[in-house]
Structure 1
Amino acid sequence: MLKNIPVLFLFLFIIGCQKKPDIKKESTVKDIKGNVSEYAVDFAPLTTVYRKKKRDEIEAFYADKINPKDFSGSFLVAKNGEILFESYSGYAYKEKNDSITQNTPLHVASVSKIITAVTILKLVEQNKLQLDDLVSDILPEFPYKETTVRMLLNHRSGLRNYAYFTEDKGVWNKKETLTNQDVLTLLATKKIGLETTPGKRFSYCNTNYALLALIVEKVTEKTFPEALQQMIFDPLGMKNTFVFSDMSTKEEVSQSYKGNYKRLAFEYLDAVYGDKNLYTTPRDLLQFDLALYSEKFLSTKMKDEMFQGYSYERKGTRNYGLGMRMLEFETGQKYFFHNGWWHGNTSSYVTLRKDSVTIIAISNKFTRKPYDTKRLAPKFGDYPFKFNDEEGE
């Protein structure tokens, strides 16, 4: 029996090593110091044949649908944490001849909502608030007593969009920069009103996520950018990610352009965060996506809350979770994603959970091409999309 002990130890050693993330893997989640993060997860390695086949398919899609000659932005596809294809083209700041690289943060518009939602869910896990807490209990100024944190997350609050109600006569002087606190104060002091009864129906609204950012600040006693830096960006090594909140630094970030490369000016709405104003890269978003597979980063219970639909008052495949859009097909398959559009910035983040695939496209020169990323989904799993190239979608 003693002769078998070395063999047993060798077996246990091999098994133990298999459970540990490979520190040499470029795609392994690492913290801000470059150490393997506690949230790192190992996936099965891809075969050389599989990588080559998928890379060829993605490259053909990219050349046909994205067209790098006219695309200003970044693009990445990964499976099991391994980058299959990535490309960067165009200018972050064309007037300065500042080219986009893998380290160039671009404005991802409403893709920001996913990060905001996960921050709230992590605070719920820490017992610092609950999903069904009343917003007015956290933010006493808030005037609507039936609205919960969950309703903000799944867009069932009935609130009006601040981008629209600040256009109403006498509500806001558009020569002044609007802040998140201003949004709350206007709701409390002006006759803004609701679009619908809280909890009654889904209505996508940026105001929800501007308020969620204030809730993060109230609960953590930190600014929203500081809270995300400590809770999300640093632990996941998202070195090229930040929340834009200071208009005096607008010349230091990537710019936004029309399709003809005419630069779009910043405006009074551009300091509100939570719903937008996240600048990041595909590689950083990949680290975030990989961490979402970790039980340590976000528990299964919270992910179950996040990745379920909440709006079934209308029949159809479209639904919304907590910070996550989804298509729920009759086959039972679910397609998870979030798109963004702000000024000339458009973006798409796709996370195929069943297939551990990440697809990210970001552009700062207006185009709808990032939204075409869903065409890649059927190459990885049973996503029953029907595309008509001649008629469009």
Structure 2
Amino acid sequence: MTSKISFLYINLFLLIILFLACSNHKKTDGSDSNDYELSENSLPMMKPSNLDYPRLDANFINAKRASIDRFCQKYWKNEANNLSFLVAKNGEIIYERYQGIANRRKNISIEKDTPMHIASVSKVLTATAILLLIDNGKIDLDQKVNTILKGFPYPKITVKNLLSHRSGLRNYAYFTEDKGVWDRKKTLTNQDILNLFTQKNIKLESPTDTRFCYCNTNYAMLALVIEKITGLNYREAMQQMIFKPLGMNNTYVFDLEKDRKTATPSYKASNMELALDYLDAVYGDKNIYSTPRDLLKFDLARNAPTFLNPKLRSQVYQGYSNERKGTKNYGLGIRMVEWETGQKFYFHNGWWHGNTSSYIPLSKDNVTIIALSNKFNKNIYAFKKLAPLFGDYPFKLEAGEKEE
């Protein structure tokens, strides 16, 4: 009799365990799920690159440095034009340039450790966190967003649609200007954007996955996905998953209330400081502050062969915006130029208030080019012209920019 009772207790225990396991299983059928939060020890994290590249030849460094310096003298000769810039090969910095004023009110100059707003280059880091979660089986690339975010009203949109800007969502900076949608005296948050979709019946700009449309709303929603899956706010999740493990000690996600008085301000070309506005609390699409040296650490880790499984990695660098024939395309969190010859050039630019940025990973050449400015200047986007110094990229180099 005792053995039968023991057997029943064991079976009951096993049934309870099975029930709990099933109740925590990830839902992908279109229903809302609240069972995603990860424990601290299961949070995926980037790993620093441990590749042992050969040291660069001194003649190589001197030649490249001279060419880059001529380029800078052409585009950034005026020391009043703010710039934080480096070029590295094999992880070795071969050229750096820091000039201008970080904060005019406090007379603080731009130095190598000065964090600056990287604008839409933030999207690359947000996408990287999402890719880490996918690679570790926490979510699926083709998973419907409404299975993760409660109240997300667009049933066809997937994580992949957000990453590739094919969701059809409207830009929050535009629809919050519509009459009666939002009081622009109030600070807008990521959760507010999600709430407005339903509360104000915000329609899609276009049917999901019918066309490419670059839209900040996609990455504001991806930040909420990161929060839901990790159980952390976006700032802490990015710190734990990317910044801290890579030693990005001068990188952080801007907190409007905490950092507004200490963050590096931005300026018009006329040196007029630009005020913060009601959109400055939204993150994921922007609002990461960093330095070229920190972003170099990130780039080396992101381009290490151990980052992501081969299938997912190939999907990142595949173009998804080619409804019309052309060279411009967009992957999963990265812009690209694809020439008919098969050559590809990957990059991401940014612009927010007076902040401009350019991130250029020449992965096959083991070269990283990073340029940031907190004083509006479109010359930041000209740094792609340095790519032909290191590989076969058909950008036109102007007189004085060619290699010796």
What TM-score results when the alignment is normalised by the length of structure 1? 0.88
| Stretches of 4+ aligned residues off by more than 4 angstroms | none
Contact 1:102–1:281 (CA under 8 A) maintained in structure 2: yes
Give the secondary structure class of the aligned counterpart of 1:95.
Answer: coil
Q: Are 2:360 and 1:359 equivalent residues in the alignment?
A: no
Q: Are 2:117 and 1:71 equivalent residues in the alignment?
A: no
CA apart distance, 1:116: 0.2
Contact 1:39–1:297 (CA under 8 A) maintained in structure 2: no
Q: Are 2:222 and 1:218 equivalent residues in the alignment?
A: no
CA apart distance, 1:350: 0.4
Contact 2:133–2:139 (CA under 8 A) maintained in structure 1: yes
What residue is the counterpart of 2:329 in the other structure? 319
Alignment of 1:1-393 (within 5 A): 39-386=49-396
Contact 1:245–1:272 (CA under 8 A) maintained in structure 2: no
Q: Distance in 1 between matches of 2:389 and 2:72?
A: 14
The code of the aligned residue for 1:203 comes to C
CA apart distance, 1:140: 2.2
Contact 2:48–2:297 (CA under 8 A) maintained in structure 1: no
Q: Distance in 1 between matches of 2:398 and 2:156?
A: 44
Q: Distance in 2 between matches of 1:299 and 1:42?
A: 21
The code of the aligned residue for 2:196 comes to L
CA displacement, residues 56-105 of structure 1 (integer Å, 9 cap, x when unaligned)? 10111111112251321201111111111001111221111011100000
Give the secondary structure class of the aligned counterpart of 2:250.
Answer: coil
CA displacement, residues 320-367 of structure 1 (integer Å, 9 cap, x when unaligned)? 000000000111111000000001000000011111111111000011
Give the secondary structure class of the aligned counterpart of 1:252.
Answer: coil
CA apart distance, 1:191: 2.3
Contact 2:385–2:396 (CA under 8 A) maintained in structure 1: no
Contact 2:48–2:300 (CA under 8 A) maintained in structure 1: no
The code of the aligned residue for 2:92 comes to E
Larger radius of gyration: 2
What residue is the counterpart of 2:25 in the other structure? none
Q: Distance in 2 between matches of 1:68 and 1:301?
A: 46
Aligned residue-pair number: 353
The code of the aligned residue for 2:165 comes to H
What residue is the counterpart of 1:30 in the other structure? none
The code of the aligned residue for 1:204 comes to Y
Give aligned-pair identity as a percent. Answer: 56
CA displacement, residues 84-140 of structure 1 (integer Å, 9 cap, x when unaligned)? 100111122111101110000000100000000010000001111001000011012
CA apart distance, 1:38: 5.0
What residue is the counterpart of 1:7 in the other structure? none
Q: Distance in 2 between matches of 1:100 and 1:144?
A: 44
What residue is the counterpart of 1:33 in the other structure? none
The code of the aligned residue for 1:309 comes to G
Contact 2:51–2:304 (CA under 8 A) maintained in structure 1: yes
Contact 1:154–1:310 (CA under 8 A) maintained in structure 2: yes
CA displacement, residues 267-314 of structure 1 (integer Å, 9 cap, x when unaligned)? 000010000000000000000011122233433333212111112211
Contact 1:38–1:296 (CA under 8 A) maintained in structure 2: no
What are the ranges of 5 or more consecutive residues in structure 2 without an aligned counterpart? 1-46, 400-404
Q: Distance in 2 between matches of 1:142 and 1:262?
A: 40
Contact 2:86–2:97 (CA under 8 A) maintained in structure 1: yes
Contact 1:40–1:290 (CA under 8 A) maintained in structure 2: no
CA apart distance, 1:229: 0.5
Contact 2:256–2:280 (CA under 8 A) maintained in structure 1: no
What TM-score results when the alignment is normalised by the length of structure 2? 0.85
Contact 1:62–1:68 (CA under 8 A) maintained in structure 2: no
CA apart distance, 1:208: 0.1
Contact 2:356–2:380 (CA under 8 A) maintained in structure 1: yes
